[in-house]
Structure 1
Amino acid sequence: MAAKNWKDDKPVKVNKWDGSAVKNALDDSVRDVLTKKYNYVENFALIDGRLLMCGFSVSVAMFALLWDWLYPFPQSRPVLIVCVSTYFIMMGLLTLYTTYKEKGIFVIAIQKDPAGFIPDNTWEASSALKKYDDKYNLTLTFKDGKTGNIRSASISKSVANFIDENGIIIHELVEPEVSKLHNNLLVDRKDK
């Protein structure tokens, strides 16, 4: 059985007037280029941090619910106050985490050294698509594992450059843009 080409995946169709759906589909296409074309390993640590915070918040809420069921309201009041306060603090921390730590990053890909002697390089892709705007802003950040230097490159293009009139994402138009950013960051690395 021959290996399947990453470009042979089923075409993705989205409602081209739904900005959020278009952004997510383009993000998935960029993720495919990094993980399938370049064979980088996706790192889920950033998403795991968010899931951990959400899981803890839900656990606190479930504990409050169980405590209130076992010990009805007047008796459970102090525990409910602590649980509700903890829940809202966690939601505030989650907001700060997504705003300042994630910053629109939708994929972190690790470029491993085949020999295992050089530390792994890290690629981060982040994007933005403002409401009622057609400009898809993509930023690719490269962190050199050997030196620790961080470089980034970005593009801003209309989503019409990547989808057809039927709302189908055209991977053949996304891939060259991501590859251009990728190669520019690698060239900068070799120049230094």
Structure 2
Amino acid sequence: MTETSEVVKINKWDGAAAKNAIDDAVREVLTGDLKCKESFALIDGRLFLCALAVGVALYALLWDYLYPFPQSRVVLIICVSSYFVLMGILTLYTTFKEKGIFVVAKEKVGNNTRVWEASSYVKKHDDKYNLILVLRDTNGKFREASINKSFANFIDTNGTVVQNLVLNEVNKLYNSLSSDKKEK
């Protein structure tokens, strides 16, 4: 943990806030302590789709301003249809491509580049934090490991994430995946 990082206090009874705080701590471990470089390609894909949808909406707005409604009917129909198609594609992208991944980090090992993907989820009305760490190597192989622990294992009584506990758990997953024992 770096000295410049600030301590974030959360409501430990709020599952979403606790999940997000632990996600941030896991991101910090991967990109800080384990010296991996964060890749933003997955998020850039989502931003591109959103920007395209906003561009279509702005084009429709401008066209309707220049050529009021009766004249702009066809362009508005096309733009509105395109917007909804883009929102459908965005939904599919976030559901099937992102899959809850909150950090993608690359690590250079010799001539190979290993890609680490961390995703997490919390079931409704549950206090268990589920972390899944996936390792993809340049050969196209991937390995995966996960933990399922209570929020209490990571957050102290004051509502602060204990970085050392997160570091220990992520290190266990990292080390188990770094060894070649768990080939799929």
Superposed pair shares fold, TM > 0.5: yes
- Deviation of 1:42 (Å): 0.3
Instruction: Give the counterpart letter for 1:180 in structure 2.
Output: K
Counterpart in the other structure of 2:152: 160
1:79-94 paired onto structure 2 within 5 Å? 79-94=75-90
Give 1:7 shift.
6.1
CA contact (8 A) 1:50 1:97 kept: yes
**Aligned 1:1-192 pairs, distance under 5 A:** 6=2, 9-113=5-109, 118-145=111-138, 147-188=139-180
Flag structure 1 segments of 5+ consecutive residues without an equivalent: none
Q: CA deviation at 1:6?
A: 2.3
Q: Using structure 1 for the length normalisation, give the TM-score.
A: 0.90
1:27-50 C-alpha deviation (Å, 9 max, x unpaired)? 110001010001110000000000
Aligned residues: 184
CA contact (8 A) 1:11 1:170 kept: no
Do the aligned partners of 2:101 and 2:118 also contact (CA within 8 Å) in 1?
Answer: yes
In percent, how many aligned pairs have the same letter? Answer: 59
What are the superposed Cα offsets for residues 77-134 of structure 1, whole Å, 9 maximum, x if unpaired? 1000000000000000000000000001011100013x5xx12111110100123211
The 10-residue stretch of structure 1 (151-160 or 163-172) with the greater mean CA deviation from structure 2: 163-172
Query: Distance between the aligned counterparts of 2:92 and 2:183, measured in 1?
Result: 37
Instruction: State the secondary structure of the residue aligned to 1:120.
Output: strand
Distance 1:89 1:6 in 2: 44
Contact conserved, 1:35 with 1:41, CA < 8 A, in 2? yes
TM-score by length of 2: 0.94
User: Do the aligned partners of 1:107 and 1:126 also contact (CA within 8 Å) in 2?
Assistant: yes
2 CA distance for matches of 1:139 and 1:7?
Answer: 27
Return the alpha-carbon distance in structure 2 between the equivalents of residues 110 and 178 of structure 1. Answer: 15
Deviation of the 1:66 alpha carbon: 0.9
